[in-house]
Amino acid sequence: MRTCVPLMVVMLCSLAWAGKMESCASRCGEKFNRDADCQCDHHCPRHGDCCEDYGDLCTAEEDPKEPSPELEEESKEAPASSLYLSPSSCQGRCHEAFDKHHPCHCNTRCQEFGNCCEDFESLCGHEGFSHRSDAITKEELQDISERIYRADTNKAQKEDIVLNSQNCISPSETGDQVDRCSEPLFTYVNEKLFSKPTYAAFINLLNNYHRTTGQGEHFSTQQLAEQDTFLTEVMKTAVMKELYRFLHQQNRYTSEQEFVNDLKNMWFGLYSRGNEEGDSSGFEHVFSGEVKKGKVTGFHNWIRFYMQEKEGLVDYYSHIYDGPWDSYPDVLAMQFNWDGYYKEVGSAFIGSSPEFEFALYSLCFIARPGKVCQLSLGGYPLAVKTYTWNKTTYGNGKKYIATAYVVSSTQ
């Protein structure tokens, strides 16, 4: 496959892939806007309604002399592993962001506010305070992503999918909502893939959600069982075994069951994006897709896209990026209409197994929550961007996945 625009252009535009109307571009510091999909004011971290790129575009613009210390601390990004360590100790939490759900804190200003954990001085108050000995390095991420890539034996082969990508447009044209492709994206998919256990378990989950935010999700006993079946099946694969082995070696999880329980919470735990409690989850947003205020959000999965296109519910419009891979999985960033609602740019792996996407997004959320996570697939650089849901938590202050999607590498 070919790259239809220079990678540098895609890099500059990658954060806009979530949609211009959901971006803080040119909006940092504006007042609360009731009609906006998301906010870019100084109070949005506290209320949990920031746009997805708020941390990247706006926190650097904040005046450090402005007298709002609590908000300043809340706006800082959390260190990679702080979501997965004890909230009552500073072990592995030095320099973390302020989190009101934690009983004590380990950031640079906790002494000023008198809310440091008891072991702050012994663990953080020394020379080299900013060093994190337990951080997962970029090189380690690239190595494990290559191992996951090689382990994906359930991926599509070249003959399993025939793509018709048609028109490539520039990033500046994505807001035009013009259908530049007269034919579907998928000319052919070998649906025998879908009989594989992880594919079948994944597909069973896709229709368990109301796509409109504001409608609470109420799962039946069978639907809850389908979540467990999916986790059971993916954990049987070499892909997820590689991921667990790596995270276990990194001291993130002491047992496979602890890992599975955390995956279930972070991906399937419900939170509210609208007016009703429990109307969304990371899995619904990323893999099934949602509609909020008349626009498509999330929806980053090729299987879901193919099945909806086959039913006549998705109309493929164009693409702005076609990855360099000559086999599957590949990456495509595309524009489309989903049953009357537009997606300005939706990036997705093409031809990957469900466990492959689930593994890479989980890896990046655990290792680089709220940041760009630089990976390597088949010798090519790639990056994944994740966002944490900051309004509610589970367990001892752990955060749910808000979204995860592919962006171009910043290498």
Give the pLDDT confidence score for residue 134 in this predicted structure: 60
Residue linked to tokens 């252009």 = 9
Is residue 352 within 8 A of residue 155, CB to CB? The reply is yes
Stretch (H or E) spanning 322: strand 314-322
Average pLDDT of span 168-179? 93
Whole-number Å distance between alpha carbons of 91 and 86:
7
Give the pLDDT confidence score for residue 107 in this predicted structure: 77
* Angle separating helix axes 221-235 and 354-367, nearest 10 degrees: 90
- Give counts: helices (H), strands (E), the chain: 14, 10
Give the pLDDT confidence score for residue 48 in this predicted structure: 63
Amino acid letter for position 81: S
Average pLDDT of span 218-238? 97
Whole-number Å distance between alpha carbons of 298 and 252:
27
Is residue 352 predicted with pLDDT exceeding 80? yes
Instruction: Grade residue 332 by pLDDT with cuts at 50, 70 and 90.
Output: very high
Identify the CATH class of 16-124. Answer: few secondary structures
Report which of 38, 27, 23 is spatially closest to residue 61, judged by C-alpha positions: 27
Is residue 279 predicted with pLDDT exceeding 60? yes
241-275 residue pLDDT tens = 999 999 999 999 999 999 999 999 999 999 998 77
How much is the mean pLDDT over the chain? Answer: 83
Is residue 354 predicted with pLDDT exceeding 90? yes
Whole-number Å distance between alpha carbons of 103 and 113:
13
Whole-number Å distance between alpha carbons of 25 and 336:
22
Query: Which of 18-27, 30-39, 160-169 comes out lowest in average pLDDT?
Result: 18-27
Sort strands 398-407 and 341-350 into parallel, antiparallel or unpaired: unpaired
Give the pLDDT confidence score for residue 127 in this predicted structure: 29
pLDDT higher at 357 or 31: 357
Contacts of 245 (CB under 8 A, 6+ apart): none
Give the pLDDT confidence score for residue 401 in this predicted structure: 96
State the catalytic residues: 285, 300, 343
Give the pLDDT confidence score for residue 21 in this predicted structure: 43
Give the pLDDT confidence score for residue 102 in this predicted structure: 79
Is residue 160 within 8 A of residue 330, CB to CB? The reply is no
Average pLDDT of span 317-326? 95
Average pLDDT of span 30-38? 73
pLDDT higher at 73 or 325: 325
Is residue 64 within 8 A of residue 71, CB to CB? The reply is no
Residue linked to tokens 């072990």 = 91
75-113 residue pLDDT tens = 233 343 334 445 678 877 877 777 777 778 887 666 655
Buried b (16+ CB within 10 A) or exposed e, 154-163: bbbeeeebeb
Provide CATH 4.10.410.20 ranges for the chain: 16-124
Instruction: Grade residue 125 by pLDDT with cuts at 50, 70 and 90.
Output: low
pLDDT higher at 194 or 115: 194
Report which of 363, 370, 372 is spatially closest to residue 390, judged by C-alpha positions: 370
Percent of the chain at pLDDT > 70 equals 79
Whole-number Å distance between alpha carbons of 48 and 148:
33
Tell me the longest C-alpha to C-alpha distance in the chain.
65
